[in-house]
Every structure is written in C-alpha cells, then in structure tokens.
Chain A
Amino acid sequence: MATVPLNGVMILAGILFMLGLVGVLVRRNIIFMLLSVEIMLNAAGLAFVAAGSRWGQADGQVMFVFILSMAAAEVSVGLALVLQLYNRLKTLDTDAAARMRG
C-alpha cells in the first residue's frame, strides 16, 4: 500500500488552515468569508483523518464525520443569515453591519 509521511500531511493541513485564515481576515464579502471558514474546517478534518490513520483506528474518520455534519448545519444557517443580511442592507459588505460598534 502506498504510504504517506505523517508530518507532510500535518504540514499540509496547517498550510490549508493558514490559507483559510488569511481568507477570513482579508476578504470583505461575506460569501468569501464563509468560504474561507469552510476551507479551515476542511483542513482540520484532514488533520483528524491523518491522525486516525496513523493509529489505524476509526476515530479520526468519526471525528471527520462529525466535523462534516457540523459544517453542513453551519453553512445552512450561515447562508440563511447571508440572505437576511442582503435583504436588509442590500449589500454583502460585512463592514456595513457595524451597528454594534461602541
């Protein structure tokens, strides 16, 4: 069977997580921010699966299943909120939703 260096997978997960974080911090459009959060979640899932595979147990994949279901719930609610935001503010700019300032 093909083998994969564990360190490499972990570093890959780290890099993907970082890219997702940069996306959250840089982008102003809320769709892109949610997308970047998905990238981060995916990276975390990758780390879990790799760890589970290292010990040869199913626990990693089980955690990945949970992360997946959580991401699904979060995306649905999040996108519904995006729709509400767009209806009220007529824009997808997150800086426009700053009524909680001060």
Chain B
Amino acid sequence: MLDYLWLIPALPLGGFLVLALLGARLPRGLTAVVGAGSVGLAAVTASLVAYDFWVGEPPGHAYTQTLWVWLKTAGFSPAIAFYLDALSVVMMLVVTWVGFLIHLYSTEFMIDEEGYSRFFAYMNLFVSAMLTLVLADNLLLLYLGWEGVGLCSYLLIGFWYTKPENGYAARKAFVITRVGDTAMAVGLFLLFTHLGTLQIQDVMTRAREVWPEGSTLPIAAALLLLGGAVGKSAQLPLQTWLPDAMAGPSPVSALIHAATMVTAGVYLIARTHVLFTLAPPVLTLVAVIGAATLLLAGFSGLTQRDIKRVLAYSTISQIGYMFLALGVGAWSAAIFHFMVHAFFKALLFLGAGSIILALDHEHDMFKMGGLRRQLPTTFWTFLIGSGALAAVPLITAGFYSKDLIIWQSYASARGSLWLWAAALAGALLTSLYTFRMVILTFFGPAGMQAGRKPGWRMNLPMIVLAVLSLAAGFIELPKSLGNLPILSDFLRSALPAVVVMAVREGREPLFELISGCVSLGGILVIYLLLRKAPRFTEKLVRTPLGAALHRWWLVGWGFDALYDWTIVSPYVWLARIGRNDVVDLFYHWIAWVNQVGYRAVSATQTGRIRSYAVGLAIGAVFVIGLVVIL
C-alpha cells in the first residue's frame, strides 16, 4: 500500500491536465467530478497509505519512494522521490482531506462563474504542488512544489482577472513571496555548496556532523530558509500580501491562504529542524517573529470592516503562533496547531463564503446583521469555528492546540515569560476580534437579506469541518487534563520532543486556567462592548488617540506605505528615468533605419513604366561595368 505514495500528488496533477486540456468542452457536472474527484481519490489513497504506515511501521519510521532521477550532473543528482514519515503523513492527510472538502464546496460555490473548469484546473494543480512540497525527499523538489503553490496562488487570487485590482493583488502576493523565495534559493545554494547534497535527511545528518552549533554557516543557512518561510507564511516583515489576497474567491482563501500554502513555511522549518537547532539565535528570531506578528495582526484584525480581511489577519496571527511554537522548540505543538487551524480556518472561510454568496458578494460586516435566523447551518458551523479560533476551553479543538503553544512558550527551555505574555495578549485579541466578527454578522438588527441559501454541497463540508474543529483536539490532551499525547507520540519519530524546564512544569494547571479565563473573558468583553454599551465603544474610537490607532491598525501598521516609500517608489523612479537612456538609442536607431529604408524603397514604386526602364538600364550598366572591371 505504501507503493501508492506517488499517486497522491499524481492524481490531482492528472485532474489538472484533463481540465486544462479538455475542460472548456466538458459539461459542468463532469468538470466538478474530475476536479473534486481527483482530490477525493488522493485523500482516500492518502488515508490508506497513512493507515499502512501506522500499522506497518516501516524501518526507521520512514519510507522513501524514488520515481526517477531528475538531473544528473557532476556530483548533483536529485531525484523525483517522495519521503514519508510521521510529519509528512499528518501534512498529507490534512492537505488532501481539507482540500477535498473545499473542492466539494466549490462545486456549488463557483457554479455561476464562467471559468469553472479553469478554477478547478488551478485548484488541482495547487493541491498537486502542495503535496509535492510536503512529500518531497530533497530540497530541490520541495522548491519545485514551493514555486508551484506560489504560481497557483497568483493564478487563483487573480481568478477574476477582468477587475484590475485583483491582478494587482495577485502580483503583490507573487512579488512579495518571491523576495522570500529568493532568500530560500540562496539558502539552498549555500547548503549544497557546503554539504554537497540537497536530500533532506542527508543534509540533516551531515550538518550535525560538520557544523558546530552556533557557527556562522548554519546561522546563515537557517536565516535564509527562514526568509523563504516568512514570505510564504506571511509573517513579519513580508506579511503585507495576505490581506490583499482576499480578492480571490472564498474557497481559494480557504484552501490556499488559510489551510495549506501559508503553512508551508511552518512545514519547512519543522522539516529542517536540525538546521535550526544548530543555529539557536535563528530559533529565537523565529519565536520573536511569531510573537510580534501575532500581536500586530491581532490589533489589525480588530479594526477591519471586511469579513474576509478579519480572517486574513487572523490567519497571519495564528501562523505567528505556529512560528512561536517552532521557535521555542515545541515542534509537534506547532504541527498540532497547524492541523486544528486548517480545520477551523477553512471552516470560517467557507462560512464567510456562503454569507458573501447569500448577500450577493457583500463583504462589509457593518452591512450585515441578524443572519443567524436566515442562514442557520452557516451560523452554527461558523460559531463552532469561531469558538475554536478563540480557543473556548475544553470543548473546542482550538483550546487544546493553542493553549499547548501558550503553555510551551513559557515552559520550554527556550521559552520565557515575555513570550508567554505576548501569546496570552494575542489570545485575548483573538477572542475580541473573532466574536466582534460573529456578533456583527449574525446578531443584532438585520442588515441585508440573505438571497441564496447554500445547498448540501456547501453545507456538508462546513458540518464536517465543524465536527473536526470540536473533536480533533482530543488526540493531544495535556498532562493536567487527561495526558493523552497521541499526536506528539506519533510525531516523535520525526520531530524531537520539546524540552520542558522541570521547575516550570508543575505550574501547568494554573497556566491552563489563566488561558481559559482569558479566552472566555475576551468573548465577554466584546459582547459587552458591542451589545450592551455600543455608544461607549464608539466614543472610544472617536477620541484622537483611538481614531489614530484605529486608522493605523486598519492599514496593517503602515507596512504597505513603508514599503512603497522605501522600495517601490525609488525603483519606479529609476525605471522611469531609464526609459529613454543611452542603451535605448540603439533600438531607436534600428527602428529609424527600417523606416528610412521603407520610405526609400516605396519611393521606387512609381507605377510608371519609364522609371522602371531607367532602373533596368542603370542595373544593366552596373552589372556590365562590374564584368568589365573585375
């Protein structure tokens, strides 16, 4: 059964090829079957492979399947090979199943769009690229998947290409992630030059042998890979593209910008964790970036009007949590949160999509209201998702995963009280902006009327994801609440366990209690502010400090303006002054020569026989003269 590993990325790729070549000619039903079905088959295959992996336990807890050798040059022969271990099993299952549910949802969501088959072709290509990334055996193949998901992100953000803003958003996403990708490429060059291989497991063993901990080379390599991860996962300082990427359709936001692509950075760091452990300053940087980003995005999410932008900032914030976990050495906690986040964030985006579709593409939350009676399924699933996001204690999966990170940011040997305080503040902000979103959208006086109710193909995935958002947490219960570390035990074969400081370990119940109170407290505060004392909140926002902060947080702390002023404008200015410079003279000269030649030649076409006769005579003179002379 493990031999079917290659089918998992190949099936969606086949779906892409069929839809790209024939999609325009297929009826909608068949396109939907091919599009969603290929990912569904991949999901089933992944489950079978995962089951075989779990029961069969291959030697070394890893299985490699080499398909063929990709390049063969002196000393460098990467192969198209897939590597299966506990980490890639988890990633693969999440990507395929969440991907399948989102594809099923899209078969109804996109039904009125022209470009139906184009959508599913791009989505299938994306799933295939993401699976290649996750299952890659060597860093070059991983980079191929990395670039593939970047490409599909660009194609899907700009899916409605007739509106120029969508094109700009897609371009912005691509260019910013490109900055990260370039850093990552340089990192790969460095790794290959000094370690002689890009095969991931070999890189890790050789790095451990050759590089002492804390020396410059692993720091440089880890820093460069971090640059790539930061770009793809929309962390500080490359986070500006994700809010604008909401220009794409909601299923795209759910799949790419919530559940899978943006977590590729997290996967990269987890995969190359040896390299990062050899560079402790970089790991600290990872944690600091995570903490700073989660706070920054939390504040921004509090001020947004567009429902999808709230969710975008929320995604940035939650990935900040994952980075924080990676930075303090809680590797499996990061993967646990990734899994749970994929469930509830995809659910939230799908719910937002069904609201947007019902209200005829209205995104502004202040125009919504009282939708809980009109869209009941959406309301209950959205509520469950929001609860998971806000980490409502004990019943939601988000509680178990997020609070594990919050706890580890204090308890780990690399953790500190500051990181814990930042994570806790972020949790408060999360509750605030999440339930602000819920209250504005579903409660209160009715705003717009819901037109189109979602059908079973949209409701079923949301219900499934809601169930998972509640139940998925129970595979990793902390010590104080049952001690059931199933996931971290499973991942132990791939990722090292977190090192907890003994002195802090006993305080776990207290800290869990504090987190639970913060999460519930935030919900209570926002309910009071919005429903019970709305005028007070308005007055708060209207004070000079409040208004200034509101404006600043609304534009994401001014990063767009900063980049525009420091990087974009000088570059555009340079391009403008270079438009007609010395080098261009050569090309102008070529055009000028052509024009002169044209005018000269067309002047000879007089239409008069006599001038043609003269031409003949001159030619004859010339030729005979040549014969005479030579």
Contact = CB atoms under 8 A, between A and B. Distances in A.
Interface in A14-31: 21, 24-25, 28
Nearest to A95: B608
A99 B613 CA distance: 17
A94 B617 contact: no
Given A94-B608, A95-B608, A97-B609, A102 B614 contact: no
Contacts of A95: 608-610
A28 B607 CA distance: 14
A33 B613 CA distance: 10
A25 B609 contact: no
Contacts of A98: 606-608
Interface string B472-487: 0000000000000000
Contacts of B602: 102
B607 A102 contact: yes
A2 interface: no
Interface string A58-102: 000000000000000000000000000000000000110111111
A100 B602 CA distance: 11
Interface in B140-183: none
B607 A101 contact: yes
B610 A25 contact: yes
A21 B617 contact: yes
Contacts of A24: 613, 617
B605 interface: yes
B607 A99 contact: yes
Contact of A101 (B608, B613, B614, B617): B608
A3 to B, nearest CB: 28
A21 B610 CA distance: 11
Contacts of B607: 97-102
A37 B529 CA distance: 107
Contact of B617 (A25, A33, A97): A25
Nearest to B614: A25
Contacts of B609: 33, 94-95, 97
B526 to A, nearest CB: 79
A101 B610 contact: no
Contacts of B610: 25, 28, 94-95
Contacts of A97: 607, 609
Nearest to B609: A94
Contacts of A33: 609, 613
A39 to B, nearest CB: 14
A100 to B, nearest CB: 4
B64 to A, nearest CB: 72
A99 B610 CA distance: 14
Interface in B581-617: 602, 605-610, 613-614, 617
Nearest to B621: A21
Nearest to A30: B609
B84 to A, nearest CB: 73
A95 B614 CA distance: 14
A99 B607 CA distance: 6
B613 to A, nearest CB: 5
A25 B608 contact: no
Contacts of B608: 94-95, 98, 101
Contacts of A102: 602, 605, 607
A24 B618 CA distance: 13
A21 B619 CA distance: 13
Nearest to A21: B617
Contacts of B613: 24-25, 33
A24 B609 CA distance: 10
A102 B603 CA distance: 7
A101 B617 CA distance: 20
Contacts of B605: 100-102
Interface in B552-569: none
A54 B496 CA distance: 110
Contacts of A100: 605, 607
A98 to B, nearest CB: 3
Interface in B298-319: none
B599 to A, nearest CB: 12
A96 to B, nearest CB: 9
Nearest to A28: B610
Contacts of B617: 21, 24-25
A100 B609 CA distance: 10
Given A25-B617, A94-B609, A98-B606, 9 more contacts: A21-B617, A24-B613, A28-B610, A33-B609, A33-B613, A100-B605, A101-B606, A102-B602, A102-B605
17 contacts: A24-B613, A24-B617, A25-B610, A25-B614, A25-B617, A28-B610, A33-B613, A94-B608, A94-B610, A95-B608, A97-B607, A97-B609, A100-B605, A100-B607, A101-B608, A102-B602, A102-B607
Interface of B: 602, 605-610, 613-614, 617
Interface of A: 21, 24-25, 28, 33, 94-95, 97-102
User: Which 8 A-B residue pairs are closest in the complex by CB-CB distance?
Assistant: A101-B607, A98-B607, A100-B607, A94-B609, A98-B608, A95-B608, A24-B613, A101-B606
